[in-house]
Amino acid sequence: MNRGLIQLLLLGLFLFGLAQSVLATNPEYYYDFSPRAEAIYQRVLRLELKDAQADINALRSTSPTNLVTYHLESYLDFFRLYLSGNERLDTELEARFAKRISQLELGDVRSPYHRYALAEARLHRSLIHLRFERHLAAFRELNKANKLLRDNVQEFPDFLLTYKDLGLLHAAIGSIPPQYKWGVTLISSLNGTIAEGRKELALALRDRESPFYLETAVLSAFLELHLADAPARAWQQVNALDLRPRTNALHCFILANLAMHNGKNEVALQILEAQPRGGAAADFPYLDFMLGLAKLRNLNPKARVHFQSFNLRYAGRHFKEEARQKIAWSYLLEGNTAAYQQTIDAIGGGSRSGGDENAAREAAGSRPPHLGLLRARLLFDGNYCTRARAQLDAIAVASLSPEEHLEYLYRTGRVLEGLKDYPGALSFYQRTVQMGRHQPAFYACKSALQAGLIEEERGNRERARAYFNDCLSISPAEYRAGLHLLAKAGLNRVS
């Protein structure tokens, strides 16, 4: 599943809203989001998870039938698993999830928080399943959450929090690529479109005085980024919010992520260099992975210390092979081919995420990346397009291998697109698709996608549809799921 989609789902859940001191009509089990519960909620969002667990236990001892404690604990367990990637911990926490569902099912069905809290617990679990590549189990939980949310809309149409989660689901479902459609059609009643999701999120955003306004606005921004192909609008929306990246690691992630997707690499560097470290907050190793990327995109070989830090601190298997690849590249930028080879040889199977698959494919190859192409790639990823163009112009094209020539065509197209030379970019994308359609590298598939995005931007909807469909017809050995997801989202927009 595409990393961007996962991040979108993630942000829609871990900046959630709970009830405002609402008492259900069942006197035994109720939802009371008291000032004490709100303080725990804020502590969870600061990632102070150990202290938050102690506070939850204390609240539960004095208010054992207040189901808000189970709702809060669901988010706490989700953070522990998602930030650490620890699959052994997941096995330990699975029983807590089953107990949580049993307790939440005791709630009063006449309260709008009954189905809402149950749905979010199942959404949390589905995201963990997705992280650990258990797709069938993930779709099962998504289906159950979807039914709960739909029923809640029918029963309590004025309960805006439901539209936040339902909008997220509808938008995400509308962009599911063909290879995952089995999960929708086989076991679930999931359906939706990006447009439908955007409308529901807009409905949730109507109440600007809501304590959940910031959460919903962030979710809306990430939908614009990942599914609506509107990174500038997403950046504008988030910058209008009161985020504090120097003291809140989640805020740091949000702003740095959006900066990097908007070609603001220097801004991302500043944000990530000032990230909060230590204290009572749980470790967030992925922020160092991002910092390494930001430095590498400016050809700074010191980036490797951040990837090394990530690999030491992260207990999961995802992104680790990609981190080793980036460490190897840092040595290559310094001309240290021996250290490059030693590092790249340490890459094993890894996970099935796109970056790890790409790293494993490079490790299985017989030669390191072409240094000029590598520099151009990194500089383009940081939006240093003029510098990237200079690197490409200095390459002796006749000396390239067939695979390097294919990459050269693709990289040239990307840089020309970055420089707003759209006719030139389309020409190179077309040549890349023609030459690389049946190759394992992702260049042809990505070129078709980018050509579709250019034509969509220019208002040529029919041409855009043709390119998006072409992208879906190409099946590279790496990044296929993510590229197809974006092509499907494009078709959803232009159809």
> So where are the chain's domains?
3-239, 286-364, 391-494
Task: Give the span between the Cα atoms of 495 and 488, in whole angstroms.
Answer: 10
How far from each other are the two terminal CA atoms of the chain, in whole angstroms? 23
| Residue 242 Rama label (left phi>0; alpha psi -120 to 50; beta) | beta
pLDDT reading at 336 higher than 50: yes
Neighbours of 327 (CB within 10 A): 26
Q: Residue with structure tokens 């204290």?
A: 279
| CATH class of the domain defined by 391-494 | mainly alpha
Nearest to 200 by CA among 223, 231, 176, 230: 223
pLDDT at residue 18, rounded to an integer = 42
| SS3 assignment for 96-153 | HHHHHHHHHCCCCCCCHHHHHHHHHHHHHHHHHHHHCCCHHHHHHHHHHHHHHHHHHH
Residue 185 has pLDDT above 70, yes or no: no
Measure the CA–CA gap between 177 and 480, rounded to whole angstroms: 9
Confidence of residue 449 (pLDDT cuts 50, 70, 90): very high
Calculate the average pLDDT of the chain.
89
**220 φ/ψ angles, rounded to the nearest 5 degrees:** -60, -40
For residue 30, the SS3 value is: strand
Phi, psi dihedral angles at 473 (to 5 degrees): -85, -10
pLDDT of residue 176: 60
pLDDT score, position 361: 87
pLDDT of 230 higher than 60: yes
Rounded-to-integer distance, Cα 481 and Cα 263, Å: 23
| Within this chain, domains 3-239 and 391-494 share the same CATH topology | yes
Burial class (CB in 10 A: 0-12, 13-18, 19+), 279: exposed
Rounded to an integer, what distance in angstroms lies between the CA atom of residue 194 and that of residue 487?
Answer: 13
Placement of tokens 């690389």 in the chain: 436
**Regarding the domain delimited by 3-239, which CATH topology (the fold level of the hierarchy) does it fall under?**
1.25.40
State what percent of residues in the chain have pLDDT above 70: 90
Tens digit of pLDDT for each residue in 239-261?
999 899 999 999 999 999 999 99
What mean pLDDT do residues 356-379 have?
92
| pLDDT higher than 60, residue 15 | no
pLDDT of residue 479: 86
Greater pLDDT, 294 or 206: 294
Measured distance CA(340)–CA(327) in Å, rounded: 8
Q: How confident is the model at residue 4 (pLDDT cuts 50, 70, 90)?
A: low
Determine the Cα angle at 355 with ends 354 and 359, to 5°: 115
Q: What is the pLDDT of residue 291?
A: 98
* Lowest-confidence region among 11-20, 420-429, 431-440: 11-20
Q: Model confidence over 82-125: pLDDT tens digits?
A: 999 999 999 889 999 999 999 999 999 999 999 999 999 999 99
State what percent of residues in the chain have pLDDT above 90: 69
